[in-house]
Structure 1
Amino acid sequence: MTHGTDEPHEPADPSGPGDVEPRPGAHAAPAVGDTEDSVDSGELPAGSFRWSYDAPEPTETPQPDSYQPDSYQPDSYQPDTSAPEAYPADTYQADPYRFAADQYPAAPDPAEQRYPVPPAAQQQSYEQPSYEQTAYEQPAYEQPAYEQHQYEQQQYPGYPQPAYEPPPAPPAPTSAPTSAPMPPQPGYAPQPFAPQPPPAPRPEDLLVPNQTPITDEPASWGWRGRVNRASGGMFKPKASPAELAVRKSITDIQHSFSRPMTVVVVQPKGGAGKTPTTICLSAALGAYRGGYVVGWDDNETRGTLAVRVTNPDNQQTTVWDLLSDLAAFERYDARVGDLSRYVRAQPDAHFDALVSDDNPGNMAQIGEREYQRLHTVLQRFYRMIVVDTGNNVRSPNWQAAVNSADQIVVVSTYQRDVGYSASWVLDHLAQTDRADLARNAVTILSAADPTTDTAVRDQLVPHFQARTRAVCEVPYDTELAHGGPIRWAHLAPATRNAWIHAGATIVNCLADDDRRALAERRS
């Protein structure tokens, strides 16, 4: 190493102590104590020296006052707007270690130095401070609160909200504010109620009403009816309550059903009025329902229906004959006219009678299966079936009849033993899982004698009213008591009306059950 004042220094002798042979392309580093002006002018102050070496890279060793990071330019830094900033631009900091190293340069380690360090530099020792990375707290960004004008929204009852526009500043109120009525909006004015026009006339309007109210017809009974007929209709007295009740019963009998109905008459005791009840119920139903009613004698031995109905043509066929030819009526092409030779028509009452056979042995052969086949065929040709049962509740055909019943009719006379038997059969139905049939049964009490024991009647009527659905009473009639064929037209008016009322009661019970069953099938 050589010292000079005005001339550039020459390379030092390689053999001299402390000298380093310069490498090609080496740069002269300013000596310790040089100023910026002396460095630029090339002059060296007294007592100073220069040293040089070949650096591995052409860059100069930075000084704390003049060093700037290569990749960081504070003036030209622009944050990346493609992604959210991690830190605000005004608080951006480079690597804290790089700043710390620039401010506090560490003395190079001689063991790791590739080239000797100048003696003056070796005399300075810097203790590398321990730097901790500053934990920058990320500021919480808050959405700037934009000032929003609060405008009063005026409500318009009954109309849609108009377009939102800021109203002008209201003047200073001089008096109590009053709300002005809302002007009518086009297209939203309330429309006055327009009554619906009447329906267009139909051809059916020209026809006579199907049913006239029962109170509109003039009286036909008693002195009211005689006045009406004698005056030729000029005077039309109103019907009495009794006549109106019979008219109501006739109307109820005409109620239609959704399927064929079966009414079964039961009473274990003989001579209690089962057969007269079967005939009179069939007559009342057939006379006011337009026919298609059959009375069937299902006695397990020899019944008496054959002797209590009229037989104008002396017909001898019975249910046993029908059972023998039943296969012909189970065909799809069977006709109701082919059945007429097996039944006995009752022209005045509009019903047919299917009587039992005179041979008890033949009737004993009709069991449950035979009853079901006969019942199925009769349902194809009749709308209502009234079954007269025998006295043996354990016989198969009696059980089959009760199982096919839509309505049970319990009969009794005004006698204690007959009433006891009728009440017992209700217990039998309840004990054989037929409690519903027993509760919905209709009781018919008929007088077998011209005189009736009122004490017995007062006991029987409330008893069966509590056990069954309804109780109907039939007065004494000689047409029923003589034991011969019963003719509907020969019954006394009171007796005939009583049977009409009984038939209407049964039909009403069937109608209620039919409506309930029909609703269940449709649901």
Structure 2
Amino acid sequence: MAALTVAVTSDKTARVSGSGNEDIELSAADEKALFRAIEDFAKTEATETGESVEVSVSGFGATKQLTVTPDGYVAVAGPPTGPIAPVAVPAPARPVQEPVSVRAAEFAPPSAPLRIQAQERQSVLVAPVTVPGAEEPARMGIRGRLNAVLNLRLAPKPESAEVRQRAAAAKIAGHIPGFSIVTVANPKGGVGKTPLSIALNETIAKHRGAGSSVCVDFAEVGGTLPGRVSIPPREGQDVDALVAADAAAQGNLSPVALSRHLARQPGGDDIVAGSSGAGGVGFSYHDAEAIGRIMSAHREILIADTPGNATLSGGWQWATANAHALIVPVPMRHDTAEPGHKMLTDLAATYGPEILARTIVVITDGPGDDPKVETSAVDAFDKLHVHKVARMPYEPKFASGGRIAGSQLLPATTTALSVLAAMVVDLIAQPTH
């Protein structure tokens, strides 16, 4: 049986201990409403836990014992039958120092490596906890329900998912200096590049507004992107048709004409399918450059979903050479960590170590993964001096091979995606050095 201790501190306020890791303050208009608030809080706790709750209410020199059952029945009781749960004091959050970031040069071909000033990087395996607007009342979890039912103004817990989402949302919606390219790459196939590209695209559009972000399949011949999005692209909504339409418009494609070649998703994000490879011609460096030019006139962010085993293709080379942010998904397996590490080593050798300053490595969970790989993988990427190393929890929708809708993802995944999108926007928002 759960137990709560309530200390009435005035005729309008009370402090509740024994629920979660910290005390909760209740307030009401008068003494009668305060005791109703205490009873309602206990009823909610009993409903949430599925067991009766013993409540000890003390104040004004008297103590009252109540028992509240999961069905909402309240009865006067004797002394509590078990010890009151101790209140754990959370350790103070360790401050996270934000690194100085850089922005890549626009559309530099592989023959002209990007040369920008190197920066100090940071390895992070946790979400940020400093939140603008954290003092706003909670809208999620038990605190959000109490605020709604009892008209309270309980703030969310500092380490809660709601706090992290608020911090991330503020960054995602912030200013960026024009058009940016976010490339998701790992030469190993099956590491989750396409699901991550789709989900990141939707997350950015959710906070920056419909039509702000577009995800394009950069496979030499069409990849899996159309089969994973909520609304699959129709005929003509692919890179071949888009490049042809732009050429017919002499490089001056109108927004209306562009929209015909985009598959708008429920979250306001857009999708463009890959090349069909008709006539034996696939997606080339020139085509990728054309896509970048088209989107730079109509969108804020282009997310390039690159294929595996295609590092020599023109589209892959353009996307990695011109990435303002390079996202490298790495499941906890040696066969995926090593190719990702080698890819970054090769890119740094080709374009200079500055490309690592724009790289975010995302360690992901999945079936068959070996947690012991994580430590060695993080150490290896850290020694490369990548911008950040982040963490993505296991998401069944990603692993299923089916279509991905943001509304169907686990709450932990939604929070992690918001944090990742905030990292990306924070990175590309920095001025060029």
- Residues 330-357 of structure 1: CA distance to partner in whole angstroms, max 9, x if unpaired? 444x32121122111112x221001113
C-alpha separation in 2, matches of 1:261 and 1:426 = 20
Displacement after TM superposition at 1:441 (Å): 0.4
C-alpha separation in 1, matches of 2:227 and 2:280 = 17
Q: Quick one: higher RCO (CA 8 Å, sep 6+), 1 or 2?
A: 2
Where 2:270 maps in the other structure, the secondary structure is: strand
C-alpha separation in 2, matches of 1:376 and 1:363 = 24
User: Is 1:299 aligned with 2:213?
Assistant: no
Given the two structures, how large is their TM-score scaled by the length of structure 1?
0.54
1:252-267 matches, within 5 Å, as 252-267=171-186
C-alpha separation in 1, matches of 2:364 and 2:318 = 26
Structure 1 counterpart of 2:372, from 455, 460, 483: 455
Structure 1 counterpart of 2:298, from 357, 378, 381: 381
Displacement after TM superposition at 1:244 (Å): 1.7
1:420 is matched with 338
Answer whether contact 2:236 2:242 (CA < 8 A) is retained: no
Amino acid at match of 1:259: G
C-alpha separation in 2, matches of 1:329 and 1:460 = 48
C-alpha separation in 2, matches of 1:259 and 1:363 = 35
Where 1:471 maps in the other structure, the secondary structure is: strand
Structure 2, unaligned runs of 5 or more: 1-130
1:390 is matched with 307
Where 2:134 maps in the other structure, the secondary structure is: coil
C-alpha separation in 1, matches of 2:380 and 2:132 = 36
1:318 is matched with 238
Classify 1:331/1:489 alpha carbon distance in 2 versus 1 (closer, same or farther; 3 Å). same
Name the larger-Rg structure.
1
Answer whether contact 2:217 2:225 (CA < 8 A) is retained: yes
Structure 1 counterpart of 2:424, from 500, 503, 506: 506
Structure 1 counterpart of 2:258, from 318, 333, 339: 339
1:245 is matched with 164
Classify 1:414/1:364 alpha carbon distance in 2 versus 1 (closer, same or farther; 3 Å). farther
Answer whether contact 1:320 1:362 (CA < 8 A) is retained: no
1:365 is matched with 282
2:272 is matched with 354
Given the two structures, how large is their TM-score scaled by the length of structure 2?
0.65
C-alpha separation in 2, matches of 1:401 and 1:236 = 47
C-alpha separation in 1, matches of 2:232 and 2:273 = 15
Answer whether contact 1:294 1:384 (CA < 8 A) is retained: yes
Answer whether contact 1:300 1:363 (CA < 8 A) is retained: no
Displacement after TM superposition at 1:219 (Å): 0.9
1:158-197 matches, within 5 Å, as none
Answer whether contact 1:326 1:374 (CA < 8 A) is retained: no
C-alpha separation in 2, matches of 1:380 and 1:492 = 35
Amino acid at match of 2:306: T
Where 2:220 maps in the other structure, the secondary structure is: coil
Structure 2 counterpart of 1:220, from 114, 139, 147: 139
Displacement after TM superposition at 1:464 (Å): 2.3
Classify 1:239/1:363 alpha carbon distance in 2 versus 1 (closer, same or farther; 3 Å). farther
Classify 1:470/1:362 alpha carbon distance in 2 versus 1 (closer, same or farther; 3 Å). farther
Answer whether contact 2:325 2:428 (CA < 8 A) is retained: yes
C-alpha separation in 1, matches of 2:279 and 2:360 = 32
Answer whether contact 1:488 1:496 (CA < 8 A) is retained: yes
Displacement after TM superposition at 1:448 (Å): 2.2
Amino acid at match of 1:443: V
Flag the structure with higher strand content: 2
Amino acid at match of 1:354: V
Answer whether contact 1:267 1:410 (CA < 8 A) is retained: yes
C-alpha separation in 2, matches of 1:352 and 1:494 = 24
C-alpha separation in 2, matches of 1:230 and 1:403 = 53
Classify 1:429/1:313 alpha carbon distance in 2 versus 1 (closer, same or farther; 3 Å). closer
C-alpha separation in 1, matches of 2:388 and 2:206 = 23
1:5 is matched with none
- Report the number of matched residues: 298
- Residues 348-374 of structure 1: CA distance to partner in whole angstroms, max 9, x if unpaired? x221001113x3456843322222122
Answer whether contact 2:191 2:336 (CA < 8 A) is retained: yes
- Residues 24-57 of structure 1: CA distance to partner in whole angstroms, max 9, x if unpaired? xxxxxxxxxxxxxxxxxxxxxxxxxxxxxxxxxx
C-alpha separation in 2, matches of 1:493 and 1:250 = 15
- Residues 75-95 of structure 1: CA distance to partner in whole angstroms, max 9, x if unpaired? xxxxxxxxxxxxxxxxxxxxx
Displacement after TM superposition at 1:328 (Å): 3.9
Answer whether contact 2:234 2:263 (CA < 8 A) is retained: no
Classify 1:500/1:363 alpha carbon distance in 2 versus 1 (closer, same or farther; 3 Å). farther
Q: Alignment identity in percent?
A: 26
Where 1:366 maps in the other structure, the secondary structure is: coil
Classify 1:299/1:313 alpha carbon distance in 2 versus 1 (closer, same or farther; 3 Å). closer
Displacement after TM superposition at 1:461 (Å): 2.6
Amino acid at match of 1:229: A
CA RMSD, aligned part only?
2.0
Answer whether contact 1:266 1:409 (CA < 8 A) is retained: yes
- Residues 155-194 of structure 1: CA distance to partner in whole angstroms, max 9, x if unpaired? xxxxxxxxxxxxxxxxxxxxxxxxxxxxxxxxxxxxxxxx
Classify 1:362/1:252 alpha carbon distance in 2 versus 1 (closer, same or farther; 3 Å). farther
